């Protein structure tokens, strides 16, 4: 039995006890028999017909007993109340049956969305190009809707390119839009030499597929010959883990999400052997307990800086679940990669735009 159904059954039984207590305290003349129609409806508000029927049966039996044991004998007015309790119990059972069908339909849609999501994301790692890489999808609590978190990494002639994003909204519509973004990215990431052209393609794909208030936050990264370039469209900044520190790779200027024609300026960062980069969606930034957010920047190195990248993500997930006491309100996509210094030179020299306004961010 679901927790809410158990709560509804408990509340209905408490209400039954209260009604019976009031009736007995008022004397032998039945005055409150009609109130016994309310517990079945209370049970129906939380549970299925299987929860309602026992409550309704107890209500009808109690109402009948009060009617038959009245000191003046069976009374017609009380008999009408007994029939009303019986009728109300039937209606409540029907309501519970409808509610149960809705719950089952919602569960089926959630399973469908989950399967579709797993199909469109696919596995990542253990390496993409020369970069060790791991990805992890942390699902929210069972009561939460499936999210539209997405990620992908591809090895192209222009370097290793990664995308992480988060669709506004939940459920099948979010999964559908995530599949559109990923499908477009998996094509253009191999074709476009310029990251900004990829971003423009993704923005058009989103704009064609959503309403005026829908959007996708995204971060697009490219590692080429030890240089990391980041374009960020309203997404949480990737974290650079270097020598015990967690450094947010904030963009030079904010840019709106995909769907709002973003003009993102690049953040360019020289990498050192041993550097790790964490990409994540806002479910991690918003995870909290008792109003306190998970301290990702403070704990990132201790959790992610050891072992393999797979070990690091496993440690982060365990610490996160412990922090929120096992209850997440939103799905979380995590990608962790490591620069080993073994990257090959690809696609010729670094494009001039990468050496322009983003060069000031290089360290």
The Cα–Cα gap between 275 and 296 comes to 17
pLDDT digits (tens, 9 = 90+) for 250-305: 999 999 999 999 999 999 999 999 999 999 999 998 898 888 999 999 999 999 99
Q: Which residues contact 141 (CB under 8 A, 6 or more apart)?
A: 326, 327, 328, 329
Superfamily for the 125-361 domain: PPM-type phosphatase domain (3.60.40.10)
Q: Which of 116 and 196 is assigned the larger pLDDT? A: 196
Q: Which residues contact 60 (CB under 8 A, 6 or more apart)?
A: 36, 82, 85, 86, 89
pLDDT category at 185 given cuts 50, 70, 90 is very high
pLDDT digits (tens, 9 = 90+) for 303-349: 999 999 999 999 999 999 999 988 888 889 999 999 998 655 555 44
Give the pLDDT confidence score for residue 105 in this predicted structure: 72
Asked if residue 140 lies in contact with residue 283, where contact means CB atoms within 8 angstroms, the answer is yes
Give the pLDDT confidence score for residue 188 in this predicted structure: 96
Q: Which of 37 and 243 is assigned the larger pLDDT? A: 243
Order of all β-strands in the sheet with 227-233:
147-156, 159-170, 216-224, 227-233, 267-270
Q: Which of 343 and 56 is assigned the larger pLDDT? A: 56
Helix (H) or strand (E) holding 228: strand 227-233
Q: Which residues contact 76 (CB under 8 A, 6 or more apart)?
A: none
Mean of pLDDT values over 80-106: 79
Give the pLDDT confidence score for residue 165 in this predicted structure: 95
Give the pLDDT confidence score for residue 338 in this predicted structure: 97
CA 56 and chain centroid, separation: 37
Delimit the domains of the chain by residue range: 3-111, 125-361
């Amino acid at each position: 039995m679901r927790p809410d159904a158990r709560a509804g059954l408990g509340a209905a039984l408490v209400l039954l006890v209260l009604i019976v207590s009031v009736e007995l305290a008022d004397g032998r003349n039945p005055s409150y028999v009609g109130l016994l129609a309310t517990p079945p409806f209370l049970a129906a508000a939380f549970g299925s017909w299987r929860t309602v029927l026992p409550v309704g049966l107890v209500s009808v039996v109690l109402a009948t007993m009060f009617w038959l044991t009245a000191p003046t004998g069976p009374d017609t007015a009380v008999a009408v109340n007994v029939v009303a309790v019986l009728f109300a119990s039937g209606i409540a059972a029907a309501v519970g049956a409808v509610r149960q069908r809705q719950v089952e339909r919602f569960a089926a849609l959630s399973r469908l969305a989950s399967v579709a999501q797993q199909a469109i994301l696919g596995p990542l790692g253990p390496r993409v190009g020369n970069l060790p890489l791991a990805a992890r999808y942390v699902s929210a609590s069972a009561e939460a809707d499936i999210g539209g978190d997405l990620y992908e990494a591809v090895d192209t002639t222009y370097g290793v390119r990664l995308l992480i994003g988060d669709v506004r909204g939940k459920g099948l519509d979010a999964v559908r839009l995530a599949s559109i973004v990923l499908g477009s990215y998996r094509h253009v990431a191999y074709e476009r030499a310029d990251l900004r052209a990829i971003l423009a393609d993704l923005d058009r794909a989103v704009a064609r597929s959503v309403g005026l208030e829908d959007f996708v936050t995204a971060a697009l990264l490219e590692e080429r010959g030890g240089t990391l370039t980041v374009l960020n469209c309203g997404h949480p900044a990737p974290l650079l883990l270097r020598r015990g520190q967690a450094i947010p790779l904030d963009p030079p200027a904010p840019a709106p999400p995909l769907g709002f024609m973003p003009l993102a300026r690049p953040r360019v960062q020289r990498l050192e052997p041993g550097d790790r980069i964490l990409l994540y969606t806002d479910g991690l930034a918003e995870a909290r307990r008792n109003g306190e957010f998970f301290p990702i920047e403070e704990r990132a190195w201790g959790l992610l800086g050891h072992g393999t990248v797979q070990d690091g993500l496993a440690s982060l997930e365990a610490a996160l679940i412990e922090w929120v006491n096992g209850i997440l309100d939103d799905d979380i996509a995590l990608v962790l990669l490591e620069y080993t210094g073994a990257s090959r030179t690809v696609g010729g020299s670094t494009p001039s735009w990468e050496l322009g306004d983003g060069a000031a961010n290089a360290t």
